[in-house]
Structure 1
Amino acid sequence: MHSPPTDIALRDHYWHLLCHRQEVAQPNDFFRLAWLGQEVVVANDQDRLVVFDNVCPHRGARFFLDSAGNAPIVCKYHGWSYRNGSLNIPGRDHFEPCQLDGVDLNHYQVSWCGDFLFASRAPATSLDEQLGELFPLLERISRSITGRQDLNQTVYPCDWKIALENALEPYHVALVHRKSLGLLDLQAGVNTFHGINSVWEAPIGNSRMRRQLSSIRRFFDIDFECEGYISLYLFPFTMLSSTAGYSYSLQHFLPTAKPHETAFTSRLLVSRLAAEVPAETLESFFSSTAQMNRQVFDEDREVCARVVQCDDYMNRFNILSSAEEKIRHFRSVYLQAGKT
């Protein structure tokens, strides 16, 4: 039996899909995520995206407190700031020159898949290698997205692996999500596995829902579309799902510094409308989709809170149905990551 990897190793040595380019499209746009007691920020520094720890290198104050917004990278404590790729220090002559040699933000490495921004502290491999066969698919999906409709952050009272495994399997949908995701009546679907990542595609069984989705297809101009439901899992912490390709739910299941706690973040990313379609035409559709997603995640949070928290969870609870095949794959990849 392989020893499981540490959460820190998973954070530091893998690429993570942090955001879409359009989420931070304007100068000074920023987005903040938290995991393992630390925070990472994606910021638009004069049309160049930078990723860094949300900590001023001077005295440790946080640059940003909001989850997202538009503001320059300025420390409210002593005015240290970052602009045009440089750290600006007020009263520089009050410091010994040697104290400031090499002082900078604690940057992450970045890489792109289309318009999706990935970041890592010390990646063990290239992004192309990590995504493998999924790279072209993700690239196509990214080209269809034009912005963010909703941002939802909460804490799941469970280990991140329990929260993630819940998202990986459709077995619970009919019972837990009867009045939300279950209304689609998703059929058995097909799992495909791509190295450490996986994809589930399922037809929509609800004929009325299929007709409604088909009726608005003419409003969109998208590079990737699917007739049913698709859910991509990107090891270790990320899910990307969509119904018909009209919008995408980007989800992170991130460990915190506390045991048995998951920092969950979801965003509704909307797809490009046809040129002649006013933005307000589908405002109610996207709003209802965001509301439905929040309901699904609230239901997931409630059921995950019921799961027993124990260190030997994977060994103790290993009776898995064919609908939980992606969990079996995840556990294999997870333990293999501990070996390497």
Structure 2
Amino acid sequence: MISDRRLQREFWHLLCHRSELPEQGQFIKLNWLNEELCIFNDHGDLLVFDNLCPHRGTRFFTEQQGRGRLSCSYHGWSYSQGQLHIPCREKFAAGELDGAHLNTLRTEWCGDFLFAAFAPRSDLDTQLGEVFMQLASISMCIDGAADFNAYPYQCNWKLAIENAQDSLHIPFVHPHTLGRLALEETANVYHGINSLAYFKITDASADKKLRSIKRMFDISEQHEGYMSIYLFPFTMLTSTYGYSYSLQNFFPSEQENKTFFYSRLLKACLKKSYPPAAMAHFFDSSAKVNRQVFEEDHEICKKIAPHFYDVSSTRFLSVEEEKIAHFRKTLQAVDALSATDGSPVTAAAAQ
């Protein structure tokens, strides 16, 4: 099976929304395969790089997120406005610093969503296929983050991703959180290696309350219910009524049964007639519920025996678990292409 390292290196990954880092010097630090990755606002440009000074490998940032200068505390090497600044240049031999540079990743935008890649098999448009335009439209309805949540899942990332796409478990694992919406799955849509799921909220009281606040939001993209988008290989984007979006990354670790989990609650745009404080409680409550849902997911994922997992098997999967079958078949298709000529995985190739 294709290695986690190749999935990391050869595909585009959704890392953040532009509004998460609006100010100079703001950063987010993520971990995958025991490597640290930073997204940094360099005077308005969002830069993605490994968290190591190219001089001697000192970490630039130790906090998960924050604001500061992109400067090494060891020998003062720094980066600003697209340039690497090295003090005491006269103490280096001629030509010694010619190859010194920040180790950056390639970046592409889908609307206001930032994707990054090391050496992608294809361009971002090809990887996302028909999902591209919908993601771009969603991104224009977002205005900042209301929560940042990060901790390790004690399971393999594939189990975590499958759990995130599994709606069958909701009434059993989330009876007092997500289960209170009484979701009814209405459609699964597959675009190559990516998938979308749409749900109707059948709890009349919950649906009525959600409809009642629609007037406060300035959004052009909305599913009036619950929806989830899976972006191969490591990312989920979920939403209830389009009022907020939960961006989730399930990044692999060098340890087989450990996943680096990150979630951000992204707020939808309010109409100008409503101040941010008007919906502060709503977003705080949404963040609290999301955190509880993810904790419940983590607890059940920890109980799954690692040796039982078989990516080649689609036995005993219900209609509400068909996205899991799609995920496993996609992994096998990607692996098959990797074993031949390494051709780009397009929307058609994974079908």
- TM bin (shorter chain): over 0.9
Cα distance per residue 1:33-65 (max 9 Å; x no partner): 100010111111111111100000111111111
Distance 2:56 2:186 in 1: 52
The corresponding residue for 2:133 is 136
Corresponding residue for residue 44 of structure 1: 41
Change (3 A) 1:248 1:103: same
Q: 2:115 aligns with which of 104, 114, 118?
A: 118
SS of the aligned residue for 1:299 comes to helix
The separation in 2 between residues aligned to 1:334 and 1:319, in whole angstroms, is 19
Q: Does 1:22 align with 2:2?
A: no
Partner of residue 232, structure 1? 229
**1:81 corresponds to:** 78
Superposed CA offset, 1:236-255 (max 9, x none): 00000000000000000110
What letter is aligned with 2:123? S
**Residue 319 of structure 1 corresponds to which residue in structure 2?**
316
Cα RMSD over matched residues?
A: 1.1
Q: Residue 5 of structure 1 aligns with which residue?
A: 2
Q: Distance in 1 between matches of 2:8 and 2:308?
A: 20
Matched, 1:280 2:274: no
Instruction: Output the amino acid matched with 1:246.
Output: Y
5+ residue gaps in structure 2?
338-351
In the alignment, structure 1 segments of 5+ residues that lack a partner are none
For 1:221 and 1:6, the matched residues in 2 are separated by 42
Q: Secondary structure at the match of 1:314?
A: coil
Matched residues in 1 for 2:28 and 2:84: separation? 19
Aligned to 2:247, the other structure's residue is in SS state strand
Out of 62, 67, 71, the position equivalent to 2:64 is 67
Residue 238 of structure 1 aligns to which amino acid in structure 2? T
Equivalence map 1:1-340=2 (5 Å): 4-310=1-307, 313-315=310-312, 318-340=315-337
Q: SS of 2:49's equivalent?
A: strand
- What code does the residue aligned with 1:271 have? A
Per-residue CA deviation, residues 152-173 of structure 1 (Å, 9 max, x unaligned), is 0011111100011000110000
Q: CA deviation at 1:268?
A: 0.1
CA distance in 1: counterparts of 2:146 and 2:333, whole angstroms: 37
Q: Distance in 1 between matches of 2:336 and 2:117?
A: 20
Q: Give the AA of the match of 2:114.
A: L
What amino acid sits opposite 1:16 in the alignment?
H
Give the 3-state SS of the residue equivalent to 1:188 in structure 2: strand
TM-score (norm 1): 0.97
| Kept after mapping to 1: 8 A contact 2:312/2:328 | no
Does the C-alpha gap of structure 1 residues 75 and 91 become closer, same or farther in structure 2, counting only changes over 3 Å?
same
**How far, CA to CA, are the matches of 1:93 and 1:196 in structure 2?**
52
The alignment of Structure 1 onto Structure 2 pairs a total of residues equal to 337
Shift of 1:313: 2.8
Distance 2:299 2:314 in 1: 19
CA distance in 2, matches of 1:141, 1:27: 25
Q: Which whole-Å CA distance do the structure 2 matches of 1:267 and 1:93 have between them?
A: 45
Partner AA of 1:249 in structure 2: S
Task: Report the identity percentage.
Answer: 46
Q: 1:311 to 1:105 in 2, by over 3 A?
A: farther
**Which is worse superposed, 303-312 or 239-248?**
303-312
SS of residue matched to 2:151: strand
Q: TM-score, normalised by structure 2?
A: 0.94
| 1-structure distance, mates of 2:88, 2:40 | 25
